[in-house]
Structure 1
Amino acid sequence: MRHTWRWFGPNDRVSVDDMLQAGVQGVVTALHHLPTGEIWSPEQIALRQAQLAAMRDGAPSGLEWEMVESLPVSEQIKTQTGDWRDHVSNWIASMRNLRAAGIRVICYNFMPVLDWTRTDLEWRRPNGARCMRFDLIDFAAFDIHILERPGAAQDFPEDVRDAAARRFADMDDATRQQLAGNVVFGLPGAAEHLTMADVRDLLQTYAPVTDAVLRRHFHDFLEQVAPVAQDLGMRLCCHPDDPPFPLLGLPRVMSTEADFAERMAAVDLPANGITLCSGSLGARHDNDLPGMMRRLGDRVHFLHLRNVRRDSDTVPASFFEDEHLSGQTDMVALIDAILAEEARRRTAGRDDWRIPMRPDHGQDILDDIGRGGQPGYPAIGRLKGLAELRGVELALSRNHRAA
């Protein structure tokens, strides 16, 4: 695997120097400050590349912008409303500009409204570490009693509704505001941060967008962008839904292996690929991550390796972001499947045989606590995860070399 690291730009509390000292081989970033739907100009792309190229003291870092995460797909594209066709054209123009700058892989998602959803961004673990958590009862309290979404109560089982009502009643105003802020945190590092009014307005725009409609709109998008990516020699990789089950009455189209297979078959080109995120997909008990890697590995263009622990095997379920080698995904088996796919690609002569990976998220530990970094993206917690993942990779790679 090629070890990469997500960086949110010059305002990120984790610096270029920090990344370099962590031993990463490449950087995953995006132009988070640009509004969704705008063209990423050659000048803006070059500026970000220059920012990565230097350490604090001006010495060359040797790091390069290797992958984009994310080039946002606007809500207009997902709903096919307003100037969505212009947004698709701008997305393609941005893709061309990125390729001209030497960048060949773009991660994106097709989740309605929110990139990811958690109810607690600093959940305390018994050892004092902090992590992100999705609590189904808290989310139901938000959806039913804070957002007051019409029909929300019908989306939860009776026991969850009753527990949510009790929990909401026990919350003070500050706790309710904190919960709302956590749920609608919005796009990580992006220019937009959603208010409650924004969420209500966006939900209204999705009223006519059923699961089948969103799938059709996704396929329409792929039919326009994937052939261009193929011609440019680029790889597109869609990130799964996070969490991988319906929320806020919105459709989900990238939550299971069947979803991934259907999206790949819709536009059957090598450029139309997958970001295999073990944390997002692991929030469902019925997602077999090592098996998905074995069966879909030909189209996996990017890996997010992290782990979660579910409170139950229901769908949906509460979960928290565990340490990288803990949780309920067998990370050793998953990395073994990844190395087998890389060996197969290398034998086939593919130039993309080494799959880029980043240690996704991480628990806040040691000096991460109080640093005020991007939720889920601590320096030391990710460094610990990367070191553990490297150790597993090194141990297993000897077996694959021998094979």
Structure 2
Amino acid sequence: MVQTMRWFGPNDPVTLRDIRQTGATGIVTALHEVPNGAVWSREAIADRKQMIHASGLEWDVVESLPVHEGIKTASNDWDALIGSYRDSLINLAANDIRVVTYNFMPLLDWTRTDLEYAMPDGALALRFDPVAVAAYDLHILKRADAAVTTDPELVDAATRYFKALTPEAVDRLERTILAGLPGSEESFDSAGFRAALSTYASIGAERLREHHVRFLRAVCPLADDLGIRLVVHPDDPPFPIFGLPRVVSTESDLAQLFAEVPNASNGLCFCTGSLGVRADNDLPGMVDRLGSRIGFLHLRSVEREPGGAFHEAAHLEGSAEMAAVVGAVHRLSRREGRRIPMRPDHGHQMLDDLNRLTNPGYSLLGRMRGLAELRGLERGIEWASDRG
């Protein structure tokens, strides 16, 4: 695997110099300052690439080139937005950047309900609690059909949860869900979110799948010609929330997507954390079966909890079967003769980072620990494989 680390640009509290010292050789980043739907200029890409190269690192993967909501909803400006996306791909290829991550999640990117979940060792993790989401949906957002689409037992639990919240906790929950986590492509307040939800009133899962396929059929032929691999990030969490459909959550979702759009450029960002939330996703088996489509790896583990909650575990712990996953990646790499970019996704806030400004999930030391553990795991698997 090519060892990389995510960097959020010049304003990231984790610097390129910091990342260089973790042992990573590559950077995963984006032009976060460019509005969604605008073209990434060739010059801006070149400037950012030169900044990274000057630090002794390479820009290996774009994460992400956002897909505008107008593409996801097939709005009237679809043609113009597709044109801008194609132009950005052309400009990335001109700068020899060939792996481009995107997602097709409606409105919200990855979602959590607690950014400071205390672990037994004193580190802080990210956590998702469906009860907290339902409490927000029912009693803060007050989505019109929330009570109808929420399981009755969850409605009762959410009501009890909400009644126990202080005004400060209500505000914190709203901000955590809507304000946008690192790398998120949109952020809202509750009024704005309610308005945005209306744009999906007539878009269910099948229609969103159709829009996803339409997007790929419009851009993949160009990406094929450019030698770019477009890698879709799975839904996080991998199930519907707030009445919004999610269509990149399971192996069957992915198999259908690749069957509908068989272009070589139609690829996968294999995120063990997102996919691993679902116990029915066989992660090592998915690497074996979907391996030719995998162009980028997010390696992290979640600990599944009763009732559908989960929190971010240490990289080699939790529910991900990380040793089996990396073993499957090793077989894939040997079989296809290629190294796949990998980054340690998320990480606990720990040690000195507990007293520093950090992006949730993206503090330095927790990710460095994860990278070191994954590096050691890979080398151990290589050693055992070489000796039969």
Q: Structure 1 length normalisation: TM-score? A: 0.94
Structure 2 counterpart of 1:331, from 322, 343, 348: 322
Counterparts of 2:372 and 2:116, CA distance in 1: 23
Matched, 1:400 2:372: no
Residues in 1 aligned to 2:219 and 2:287: alpha-carbon distance in whole angstroms: 24
Indicate conservation of the 8 Å contact 1:133/1:319, yes or no. Answer: yes
Stretches of structure 1 that go unaligned for 5 or more consecutive residues are 55-60, 347-352
**Structure 1 residue 321 corresponds to structure 2 residue 315:** no
2:268 aligns with 274
Which residue matches 2:125? 131
Among residues 344, 349, 363, which one is paired with 1:364 in the alignment?
Answer: 349
204, 216, 219: which one aligns with 2:213 = 219
Displacement, 1:337? Answer: 0.3
Paired residues of 1:304 and 1:360 also in contact (CA < 8 A): yes
Contact 1:339 1:400 in 2 (8 A): no
Shift of 1:402: 4.2
Q: Distance in 1 between matches of 2:195 and 2:216?
A: 26
1:376 alignment counterpart: 361
Q: Is 1:19 matched with 2:54?
A: no
2:81 and 2:59 map into 1 onto residues whose CA distance is 24
Residue 113 of structure 1 aligns with an amino acid whose one-letter code is: L
CA contact (8 A) 1:118 1:182 kept: yes
Aligned length in residues:
388
Unpaired runs of 5+ residues, structure 2, are none
User: 2:81 maps to what in 1?
Assistant: 87
Following superposition, the deviation at residue 398 of structure 1 comes to 2.0
Moved more, 379-388 or 75-84: 75-84
- Identity over the aligned pairs, expressed in percent? 49
> Map of 1:55-66 to 2, 5 A cutoff?
61-66=55-60
Match of 1:186 in 2: 180
Whether the 8 Å CA contact 1:32–1:190 is kept in 2: the answer is no
- In 2, the alpha carbon distance for the partners of 1:177 and 1:272 equals 40
Give the secondary structure class of the aligned counterpart of 1:12: coil
Distance in 1 between the 2:335 and 2:129 partners? 40
Structure 1's 191 and 111: CA in aligned 2 closer, same or farther, altered over 3 A? closer
Post-superposition offset of 1:48: 1.1
Q: Are the aligned partners of 1:343 and 1:400 in contact in 2 as well (CA < 8 Å)?
A: no
Q: Which string of whole-angstrom CA distances, capped at 9 and with x for unpartnered residues, describes residues 328-361 of structure 1? A: 1110000000000001001xxxxxx101100000
Mapped partners of 1:188, 1:95: distance in 2: 23
What CA distance in whole angstroms lies between the structure 2 residues aligned with 1:129 and 1:327? Answer: 15
The answer on 1:342 being equivalent to 2:327 is no
Task: Kindly state the Cα deviation for residue 187 of structure 1 after the two structures are TM-superposed.
Answer: 5.5
Q: Decide whether the 8 Å contact of 2:108 with 2:186 is kept in 1.
A: no
Backbone CA RMSD of aligned residues: 1.2
Question: What SS does the aligned partner of 1:171 have?
Answer: coil
CA distance in 2 between partners of 1:245 and 1:192 (Å): 19
Query: Secondary structure of 2:355's match?
Result: coil
Q: Which residue of 2 aligns with 1:349?
A: none
The one-letter amino acid paired with 2:326 is I
Partners of 2:60 and 2:168 in 1: CA distance: 41
Distance in 2 (CA, whole Å) between partners of 1:190 and 1:38 is: 16
Specify whether residues 189 and 282 from structure 1 end up closer, same or farther in structure 2 by C-alpha distance, changes over 3 A only: closer
Are residue 28 (structure 1) and residue 28 (structure 2) matched?
A: yes
Residues 5, 19 of structure 2: 8 Å contact kept: yes
After superposition, the C-alpha distances for 1:58-106 in whole angstroms (9 at most, x for unaligned) are xxx2212111000000110000113122111101100010000010000
- The partner residue of 1:303 within 297, 310, 326 is 297
* Partner SS state of residue 343, structure 2: strand
Aligned mates of 1:214, 1:191 — CA distance in 2: 18
1:4 aligns with 2:4: yes
- Higher mean displacement: 3-12 or 146-155: 146-155
- The amino acid of 2:255's aligned partner reads A
Farther off after superposition, 97-106 or 158-167: 158-167
Taking the TM superposition and a 5 Å limit, the aligned residue runs for 1:82-161 are 82-161=76-155
Choose the corresponding residue for 2:372, options 381, 387, 393. Answer: 387
Relative to the length of structure 2, the TM-score reads 0.98
Which range moved further: 43-52 or 115-124?
A: 43-52
Contact 1:35 1:192 in 2 (8 A): no
Q: 1:201 is matched by which residue type in structure 2?
A: A
1:244 aligns with 2:231: no
Q: C-alpha displacement at 1:399, in angstroms?
A: 3.1
For residues 76 and 118 of structure 2, the distance between their equivalents in structure 1, rounded to whole angstroms, comes to: 43
How many angstroms apart in 1 are the aligned matches of 2:148 and 2:358? 37
Alignment of 1:165 onto 2:129: no
Measure the CA separation in 2 of the matches of 1:369 and 1:379. 11
Deviates more, 1:184-193 or 1:259-268: 184-193
